[in-house]
Structure 1
Amino acid sequence: MTGEEPSRTVPDPTDHSPRKVITVPVPSLLAVFAHPDDESLSAGGVLARHASAGARTAVVTATWAEDTPRAAELAEALRILGAGAPRMLGHADARAPHSAPGSPRFCDAPLDDLVGQLVAHIREFRPDIVITHDAYGGLTGHPDHVHTHRVTALALEAAGLERLYPDAGEPWHTRAMYMATHPHSAMAVWGDHWAPTGKAMYTVPDERVTAAVDVRPWLEQKIAAVLAHRTEVTRGAAPGLIAALPAADRELLLSTEWYIRHNPVSTGAAQTELTS
């Protein structure tokens, strides 16, 4: 059961009276990311924003085992963001076999098993919106990110079909999937900071971006969640890059989150032929 979602009030655009407001539901969010820290870097602001408005939020993490230091860091980051307890699928990181001893790499696990695992989380949480990586796997193009995108897209469709994974709970139709991304124009900000890493950057044309969300009111929470991933700060990964920056540069890099919307279920009128 989802219960009633919280609401917020905004000015009614059809009435110029300052007292006139309309009620807008605050959608629940389930974020699905590959590694501990991806949730904070890619969607920490949106998660904090929705949680602060009273919406239900949660995060599924594809890799790393529950008894590892990074799992404890993830728990702290989610506490800061108001996103509940970790939901970890427990598979190994493609580049860190020790992340889940005895478990297959996420990219090597049977696809049907991965989709079934995620369907169970979707049907149990029953989110309005699911957030995940874009088809490139974000800026880095990490193979775990790319595979998480694929598995999430398949699981969203499967979760709404009663004959698929019948033991995973009652069917649930998520209203929208938002894919965390970076537009080409963001490289004017990110490029100088990313270039020293020597890694390729995967971005999309600006016209592909559906939503550019200003998360500055929640930036302090987002940065605290990023820095909670202390292992990654120490080894100089993306959280380490953020930790080394002055406050003004942190704001420049992290104050906007970009998303591409995909509708898992068509809401258009029934057609009698295929159209482009």
Structure 2
Amino acid sequence: MRKAISPESPRHDLDGNELCALTVHAHPDDEASKGAPTFAMYGETGVRTVLVCCTGGEEGDLNNPALKEPGMPFHGLDEVAQQKLMESVRPVELAKSVEIIGFNKLHMLGYRDSGMDQSPKNLNPECFHMADMDEATGRLVKLIRTEKPHVIVTYNDDHRGYPHPDHVKVHEISIRAFDRAGDPSWYPDAGAAWQPLKMYYSVWSRSRLTAVHEALLRLRGSSPYDEDWFSRPNMDDRITTKIRIENYFWARSGSLRAHATQVDENEPFWFGLSDEELAEVYPFEDWILAKSCIENHSPDAQHLEDDLFAGIKQKAR
């Protein structure tokens, strides 16, 4: 299994700060399914990469039936014992995923998983969904001021496709933290102000979905992407940035496999196509530039970027 390779030399902005990209996710495994190839690529090309995971994923279901087979860790466990084991396993899985992708730093924001939308677990006072907005934003601001990212990646603002309360909260605190991190009047005890320059939303584009769906039908005879998937909001007209990552699909597949409780290796939704086939079918990850502090830099669907750091002045290497 391949892992990210450390770059020979880091990249810096004109003030000598190491270029940094920070991504905010709700649960362990989200970093694997959204942006793993992009962050592996940047890590190998001299960018410091930071992962903020807001919860421990404690309420995750066991999605891999193989782990219930005789001799496997979840065999014969009742619901209480299974939940207890899940809580201890998920941090281990996350650590493996972080190593594979090559993140330089992992920060846990310190909240409990809220469970799926409208679950009674949404009301747990320790869960992320119930966290005070300003307090949760302050935790993220402190990490931003510590890590000094030029680019922040978070979830998009259209939650109709997946209204998980933790994903909604990630979006809400991320946009506030982007604006407040550079304002010294906010959270004066959270370190010196630092203004990130760009914020991106992750997106599973309709173009990618269609390309993978059609390839599965052609190569495998069936596809898990049904009408429900194609009824989700199409945000392709908002995409501003396409990153070529055909040489980095190993980061996606490897990190997904690291989350063995959440990902069934035999599930075609995740592994219906090989890394090589995905690279042929759709060799990009797509992003929406949501906020920018860079003057005269306004990519759109007709003028796409190919780099999250486009417009950020850098020292020659």
Taking structure 1 as the reference length, the TM-score comes to: 0.76
Counterpart of 2:88 in structure 1 is 68
Aligned AA for 2:48? R
Aligned counterparts of 1:120 and 1:260: Cα–Cα separation in 2? 25
Q: In structure 1, the residue corresponding to 2:99 is in which secondary structure?
A: helix
Given candidates 177, 184, 187, the residue that maps to 2:206 is 184
Aligned counterparts of 1:223 and 1:258: Cα–Cα separation in 2? 18
Aligned counterparts of 2:232 and 2:136: Cα–Cα separation in 1? 25
Contact 1:37-1:74 within 8 A present in 2 as well: yes
Counterpart of 1:206 in structure 2 is 236
Matched, 1:193 2:224: yes
Contact 2:49-2:103 within 8 A present in 1 as well: yes
Given candidates 237, 241, 250, the residue that maps to 2:269 is 241
Counterpart of 1:6 in structure 2 is 11
Counterpart of 2:178 in structure 1 is 156
For 1:222-233, list aligned pairs within 5 A. 222-233=252-263
Q: 1:263 to 1:41 in 2, by over 3 A?
A: same
Q: 1:117 to 1:26 in 2, by over 3 A?
A: closer
Q: 1:68 to 1:235 in 2, by over 3 A?
A: farther
Contact 2:138-2:190 within 8 A present in 1 as well: yes
Counterpart of 2:82 in structure 1 is none
Counterpart of 1:31 in structure 2 is 23
- Residue 45 of structure 1 deviates from its aligned partner by 1.0
Counterpart of 1:17 in structure 2 is none
Counterpart of 2:311 in structure 1 is none
Contact 1:41-1:226 within 8 A present in 2 as well: yes
Counterpart of 1:44 in structure 2 is 36
Contact 1:131-1:180 within 8 A present in 2 as well: yes
Q: In structure 2, the residue corresponding to 1:166 is in which secondary structure?
A: coil
Aligned AA for 1:68? S
Aligned counterparts of 2:188 and 2:154: Cα–Cα separation in 1? 24
Contact 1:77-1:226 within 8 A present in 2 as well: yes
Aligned AA for 1:181? V
- Residue 52 of structure 1 deviates from its aligned partner by 0.2
Gaps of 5+ in 1: 8-24, 269-276
- Residue 105 of structure 1 deviates from its aligned partner by 1.6
Aligned counterparts of 2:273 and 2:209: Cα–Cα separation in 1? 17
Write the deviation string for residues 227-252 of structure 1: whole angstroms up to 9, x where unpaired: 1111111499xx88314555555546
Aligned counterparts of 2:157 and 2:101: Cα–Cα separation in 1? 25
- Residue 159 of structure 1 deviates from its aligned partner by 0.4
Equivalent pairs, count: 244
Aligned counterparts of 1:193 and 1:247: Cα–Cα separation in 2? 18
Aligned counterparts of 2:101 and 2:264: Cα–Cα separation in 1? 21
Identity of aligned residues (%): 26
Contact 1:137-1:143 within 8 A present in 2 as well: no
- Residue 178 of structure 1 deviates from its aligned partner by 0.9
Aligned counterparts of 1:193 and 1:138: Cα–Cα separation in 2? 20
Contact 1:232-1:240 within 8 A present in 2 as well: no
Taking structure 2 as the reference length, the TM-score comes to: 0.67
Aligned counterparts of 1:42 and 1:182: Cα–Cα separation in 2? 8
**Greater CA deviation, 72-81 or 183-192?**
183-192
Given candidates 72, 97, 108, the residue that maps to 1:77 is 97
Contact 2:240-2:287 within 8 A present in 1 as well: yes
Aligned AA for 2:169? H
Gaps of 5+ in 2: 1-8, 59-86, 214-222, 297-317
Aligned counterparts of 1:157 and 1:38: Cα–Cα separation in 2? 24
